[in-house]
């Protein structure tokens, strides 16, 4: 993921369509789940590096969870990733699958899994909010504002 950022012609701004597609292609290849349909619905939008990195990590964790857990016994299915900016200049990231859903006992804010704990922390880092639907399938809707670039020494 970071390699893709470093190869970008403009490190301050990241084009989310190709960044996300590259990330998802790598995950699908690594998990060997070419049998799933993955839809990336992202208009050409650029975000600052301070926003792109947490978004990429969230996408990585949630898509990885879908690839690992949502479709047991290699059942077919689909994963959808949407990212857009609404009229209030707020970003919305939606990651959704039509798999078996998430156990009702799982609480993202008090998760005992490192991946979901990381997602919760990254959403807080973005000063974002989350709406989660556990069934049917799993849907994560995350809303946040663009992170302000912080000057580094």
pLDDT tens-digit readout, 99-126: 999 888 877 666 667 888 899 999 999 9
Class of the CATH domain delimited by 2-144: alpha beta
Confidence of residue 2 (pLDDT cuts 50, 70, 90): low
Residue tagged 């992202």 (tokens): 42
Angle at 71 between CA 65 and CA 77, to 5 degrees: 105
Domain ranges (residues) in the chain:
2-144
Who's near 41: CB < 8 A, 6+ residues apart?
Answer: 80, 81, 82, 83
Question: How much of the chain, in percent, has pLDDT values that exceed 90?
Answer: 64
pLDDT value of position 69: 92
Q: Looking at residues 13-40, what average pLDDT do you find? A: 93
3-state secondary structure of 49: helix
Task: Kindly state the tokens that stand for 62.
Answer: 């949630």
Q: What mean pLDDT do residues 59-88 have?
A: 94
Q: What are phi and psi of 149, to 5 degrees?
A: -65, 130
pLDDT reported for residue 89: 86
- Residue recorded with tokens 């989310």: 16
- Residue-level pLDDT at 129: 95
Give residue 4's pLDDT. Answer: 57
pTM of the full structure? 0.88
**Please, are residues 51 and 147 in contact by the beta-carbon 8 Å criterion?**
yes
């Amino acid at each position: 993921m970071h390699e893709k950022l470093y190869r970008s012609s403009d490190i301050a701004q990241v084009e989310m369509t190709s960044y996300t597609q590259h990330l998802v292609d790598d995950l699908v290849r690594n998990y060997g789940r070419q049998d799933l349909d993955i839809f990336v619905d992202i208009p050409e939008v650029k975000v600052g590096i301070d926003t792109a990195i947490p978004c990429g990590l969230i996408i990585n964790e949630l898509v990885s969870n879908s690839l690992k857990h949502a479709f047991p016994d290699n059942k077919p299915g689909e994963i959808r990733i949407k990212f857009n900016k609404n009229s209030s200049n707020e970003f919305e990231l939606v990651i959704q699958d039509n798999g078996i859903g998430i156990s009702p006992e799982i609480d993202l804010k008090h998760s005992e899994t490192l991946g979901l704990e990381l997602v919760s922390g990254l959403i807080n880092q973005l000063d974002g909010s989350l709406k989660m639907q556990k069934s049917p399938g799993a849907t994560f809707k995350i809303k946040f504002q663009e992170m302000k670039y912080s000057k580094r020494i």
